Amino acid sequence: MKFENVYFLGIGGIGMSALARYFLHEGRRVAGYDRTPSSLTEALEAEGASVHYEDDVRRIPAPFLDPATTIVVYTPAVPHDLGEFVYFREQGFTIEKRSQMLGHLAEGKYVMAVAGTHGKTTTTTLVAWLNRALTGGGSAFLGGLSKNFGGNLVLGDGPRLAVEADEFDRSFLRLYPDVAVVTSADADHLDIYGTHEAVKEAFSQFVRQIRPGGSLVIKQGVEITLDNPRVTIYRYAYDTPCDFYARNIRLAEGGHYRFELVTPSGVIGDLTLGIPGWVNIENAVAAVASVWCAARAEGSELAEEPLREALASFTGVKRRFDFYLNTPGQVYMDDYAHHPRELAATLTSVRRMFPGRRITALFQPHLYTRTRDLYREFAEALSLADEVVLLPIYPAREEPIEGVGSEMIAGLVRVPCRIVPREQLADTVAAMPTDVVISFGAGNIDACCAAIAERLRAKCRS
C-alpha cells in the first residue's frame, strides 16, 4: 500500500481496531476518531495510535491532513454527515469502508471466512486457534477478543487467513473466500435489508463468491440459494447425521462436553471442548469442518492429537459464555447475544448445564429497529428463563423510534419481568433471590458486569 498514514473513523469498533492494530504492526502511522473511550481505544493508544473523541477536524494530527500520504477507513456505523467524514470527502482523500480494506488485506491469502447472523465470532476464533495448532501459523481478523490470543488480531506465518465475515451493510460481499462457513441466515439488520428474503439473498451472493475449487460449510437447515457449481458443499450440525456432526455427546463437569466428531474421512474420538455450552459444540463442528477443508486443499489430513489438544485448550472469546462466578450456590455469566436465536440457544445451553436451577436473564435490547422487528421473538426466547430483567434499548447508531421500547418485549414475556435503568441493575440483581444469572446484550450492559459479580459474591459470603 502506498499510503504512510491510515486514519480511522470509528477506530474503537471491534473490527476497526483489529485493522488499526494491523497497520501499527506494519509500521504505518495510525490515528482516528471515536465517540467514546473504551478498553479497545486505550489499548490502541498504548500501542502508538493517536485517538480523539470529538468530531473536530482541528483534532486530526497534522501528518494525516495530506491526501497524498493518508488513506481514510470508516465503519458503516459512522454517519456520512460526520464533520470529519465530510472534510475528508471534500478534500479528495482516498476513503474506503472497513470491508474494502479487509478485502485488500485478504488478497493472496487462503481465506477462511465465517458468516452468519449469529455464532460467527466464536467459530472464527476457533478456526484461528486450530490453524495455529495444526500449522504453527495463520493470521486472523476477529470480531471479538480472543482469550487465547489476547486480542482481536492474529499475525502468523503461512497463507491461512481466518476472517469474520460480517453481513451488516453487506460488508461480507467484499470477500472472496476459499472456504466459507455459514452458521445461520436469520432475519436481522432489517433496517439495512428490509426483508428476510433480502438477507438470504445476500448470503447466497456471498456463497457465489467462494473461489473455484473452494468449499462451503453450511449448517444443516439453513436454506439459502446454493447455485455456485464450482464449490463443494458440506453440511454440519450439532448431532444430526450429515457430513460433519457430533455424536456420543456427554456433559462433563462445569458445563463442558466430551464427544466424537464424524467427518467425511472418518470419526475423531475422545474430544473435549475447553468452553462450556452445547451451542459451542455446534460451533466447534463448523470450525473443524473448515480446517478439514483447508487440509484437504493442501493434500493432507487433520492431525488428530494436535486437534484434541487445541479443542481442549480453547478458552473462548470475551463476552461469549464468559463466567464471572461459578459456585454451587451462585453462578453469573455474561454473553454478547443480541438476536432471539442467540438468546434461545444460550438459555437452552445454560438450562442443560445447570438442570433444575433457577435462571435469571438480564437483557439490554440493541437497536430500536431490531426491537421493533423482533420483539415477539425476543419475548419468546427470554421466556425460557425463570425471571427476566430488561434494560432500556441501547440505541447505538439509531435515533429513537416513537412507540418502540423494552416495554414491547416485557408485555409478552411469560415469566416475571421488570424494566430497570442500567445504573440500577447491580442493585436490583443484588436484592433478588438469584441462583444462575446471565446478562445479555451488544450494547453497554457489559459495563455492569464487574459490579454485578461483586454484589453476587457478597451475597455468597453473607
Q: What is the CATH number of the domain that holds 75?
A: 3.40.50.720
Q: For residue 415, what are the domain limits?
A: 322-461
Do 11 and 60 lie in one domain? The reply is: yes
Do 438 and 421 lie in one domain? The reply is: yes
Domain final position from 267, 288, 313: 313
For the chain, the domain total comes to: 3
CATH number for the domain including 334? 3.90.190.20
Residue among 80, 75, 20 nearest 50 (CA): 20
Q: Is position 277 within any domain? A: yes
Do 171 and 258 lie in one domain? The reply is: yes
Q: Is position 102 within any domain? A: no
Do 26 and 75 lie in one domain? The reply is: yes
Do 209 and 188 lie in one domain? The reply is: yes
Q: Is position 438 within any domain? A: yes
What is the pTM (predicted TM-score) of this model?
A: 0.81
Do 236 and 113 lie in one domain? The reply is: yes
Domain final position from 279, 313, 347: 313
Do 166 and 309 lie in one domain? The reply is: yes
Q: Is position 92 within any domain? A: yes
Do 284 and 399 lie in one domain? The reply is: no
Q: Is position 173 within any domain? A: yes
Do 340 and 301 lie in one domain? The reply is: no
How many beta carbons lie within 10 A of that of residue 56, not counting itself? Answer: 12
With 0-12 CB in 10 A as exposed, 13-18 as middle and 19+ as buried, what is 450?
Answer: exposed
Amino acid at position 375, single letter: Y
Do 192 and 239 lie in one domain? The reply is: yes
Do 305 and 428 lie in one domain? The reply is: no
Which set of grid coordinates corresponds to residue 122?
Answer: 466464536
The angle that helices 304-313 and 278-297 make with each other, rounded to 10 degrees, is 140
Q: Is position 103 within any domain? A: no
Which set of grid coordinates corresponds to residue 250?
Answer: 456427554
Do 287 and 328 lie in one domain? The reply is: no
With 0-12 CB in 10 A as exposed, 13-18 as middle and 19+ as buried, what is 458?
Answer: exposed
pLDDT at 1: 73
pLDDT at 190: 64
Output the tens digit of pLDDT for each of the chain's 462 residues: 789 999 999 999 888 999 999 999 999 999 999 988 888 899 999 999 999 999 999 999 999 999 999 999 999 888 889 999 999 999 999 999 998 899 899 999 999 999 998 888 999 999 999 999 999 999 999 988 899 999 999 999 999 999 998 887 788 888 999 999 999 888 676 667 889 889 899 999 999 999 999 999 999 999 999 999 999 999 999 999 999 999 999 988 777 899 999 999 999 999 999 998 888 999 999 999 999 999 999 999 999 999 999 999 999 888 787 889 888 889 999 998 888 988 998 899 899 888 889 999 999 999 999 999 999 999 999 999 999 999 999 988 788 999 999 999 999 999 999 999 999 999 999 999 999 999 999 888 988 999 999 999 988 776
Gap between the Cα atoms of 64 and 73, Å rounded? 12
Domain final position from 48, 63, 97: 97
pLDDT at 187: 66
372-to-145, 335, 402 alpha-carbon distances in Å: 29, 22, 10
Side-chain-facing half-sphere of 397: CA atoms under 13 Å: 16
